[in-house]
Amino acid sequence: MFLSVFDMFKVGIGPSSSHTMGPMVAAARFLDLMRASPFEFAGLRGSLHGSLAFTGVGHATDRATILGLAGFVPDTYDNNKAEAALAEISETHAVTPEGLPTLQFNPKTDLIFDYDNNLPGHANGMILMATDAQGDVILRQVYYSVGGGFVLTEEELAEGKATDEGDPVPFPFKSAAEMLEMAKTSGKSIAQMKRENEIARGCADSFAKGTARLWEVMNNCIERGLNTDGILPGGLNVRRRAKGIHDALLAERGMNLNAPHTINDWMSVYAMAVNEENAAGGQVVTAPTNGAAGTMPSVLRYYLDHVPGASESHIEDFLLTAAAIGGLVKYNASISGAEAGCQAEVGSASAMAAAGLCAVMGGTPEQVENAAEIALEHHLGMTCDPVAGLVQVPCIERNGLAAIKAVSAASLALRGDGEHFVPLDSVIETMRQTGHDMHEKYKETSLGGLAVNIPNC
């Protein structure tokens, strides 16, 4: 099994990897399908189903789909160009994607939120259709946004398609047990094995540049969040808090009366800064999703700014180790809140961050696996119930608490020798089962939990 660090960590836009980035990617794939088709197209239609329908407005799913059909993609997204394109589409009722003729598309009538018909493959389903001059559908494709910006067609999902295509890799571990056995046999760390897998599928130079860019985007996102205040969009009137907390923390530096637990506020504020940016539709890195994008950068920033002896040379090892754990969770369970609740998003992020921190602080592979296990175990059962379908409440604070749990998990693992009672594989399987049993109203539909017990205005 191989899942690249660049698949697990994607540069994209907020507020959601599954509900914003995924539909935009699906639309781009549909345009490619049209370009490869012999038919002559005149128009477009689409429908959103399941969680994409129920929380689509709050997650800007309709906006993302429209822009995707106009030719926009997450990693090169330009907000000014997007706004101009939306205005033009609203006026002309047409899109003009590159390599295709002008296509009739009225967002108000041609993109439907279908609340009544769930698609069978996944909670995040959408159908895209192309029509001829008479308005008849001549091309149709079902897409599923399965979390973290990953998109599968109906056929790919049915075939059980995994991200395991390409040349063989030297360490193809599919479970934590296999990962530990390969580490023991080879004498290599998890990061070293993961790096060799990455290089076997790519170029060492481009890999180093790519990981450097990932941290640059993550850290820039933290900085923007720490320096921006105001009200988040969406109608809940949630005020940005990261800047105010950060300013207070800076003012308190050097005071002799600071309580030791103040370090938790630093971890929280880094994470909240990222998720406030995400909620505002800013540029983030899926880690492993947008809704959980703040946890891992927070822990890495905590390491660099607050841990004695920390070195930027360890950033790549942190990302590689975290990606290895995230890949195991995705392959064996889920990183989708719509599929398994927030345990799959923030819980996975916390496990990944705990593993990365443990690794760069000198942990053995066994201690790293233990750190991930502790962090994920104590997020089991966490629901995904965003108020008004927005990635704001409880999502922003939740990332801060997940970062604190990650650091605690890494610390506990480093205090031990790697021997522990519950294997990571067992926790991942428990998370999968728990997600399967969880009621749909707690899986990113905003039909239960905080979403119905807190006024939306």
Ordered per-residue pLDDT tens for the chain, 457 residues = 799 999 999 999 999 999 999 999 999 999 999 999 999 999 999 999 999 999 999 999 999 999 999 999 998 899 899 999 999 999 999 999 999 999 999 999 999 999 999 999 999 999 999 999 999 999 999 999 999 999 999 999 988 755 456 789 999 999 999 999 999 999 999 999 999 999 998 878 899 999 999 999 999 999 999 999 999 999 999 999 999 999 999 999 878 778 999 999 999 999 999 999 999 999 999 999 999 999 999 999 999 999 999 999 999 999 999 999 999 999 999 999 999 999 999 999 999 999 999 999 999 999 999 999 999 999 999 999 999 999 999 999 999 999 999 999 999 999 999 999 999 999 999 999 999 999 999 999 999 999 999 865 4
Contact yes or no for 6/195 (Cβ under 8 A): no
Q: How far is residue 324's CA from residue 352's CA, in Å, rounded to a whole number?
A: 8
Task: Identify the pLDDT of residue 38.
Answer: 96
Q: How far is residue 280's CA from residue 290's CA, in Å, rounded to a whole number?
A: 12
- The continuous run of DSSP H or E covering 367 comes out as helix 365-377
Q: How far is residue 282's CA from residue 228's CA, in Å, rounded to a whole number?
A: 12
Annotated domain spans of the chain: 17-158, 176-453
Q: How far is residue 453's CA from residue 457's CA, in Å, rounded to a whole number?
A: 12
CATH 3.30.70.380 assigned to 17-158: no
Taking each helix axis from N to C terminus, what angle separates 262-279 and 295-306, rounded to the nearest 10 degrees?
140
The amino acid at residue 207 is F
Task: Identify the pLDDT of residue 159.
Answer: 87
pLDDT digits (tens, 9 = 90+) for 158-196: 887 554 567 899 999 999 999 999 999 999 999 999 999
Query: Pick from 244, 222, 19: which is nearest to 124 by CA?
Result: 19
Read off φ and ψ for residue 125, nearest 5 degrees. Answer: -115, 150
Q: What global pTM score does this model have?
A: 0.92
Q: How far is residue 11's CA from residue 44's CA, in Å, rounded to a whole number?
A: 28
Q: How far is residue 433's CA from residue 312's CA, in Å, rounded to a whole number?
A: 38
Contacts of 84 (CB under 8 A, 6+ apart): none
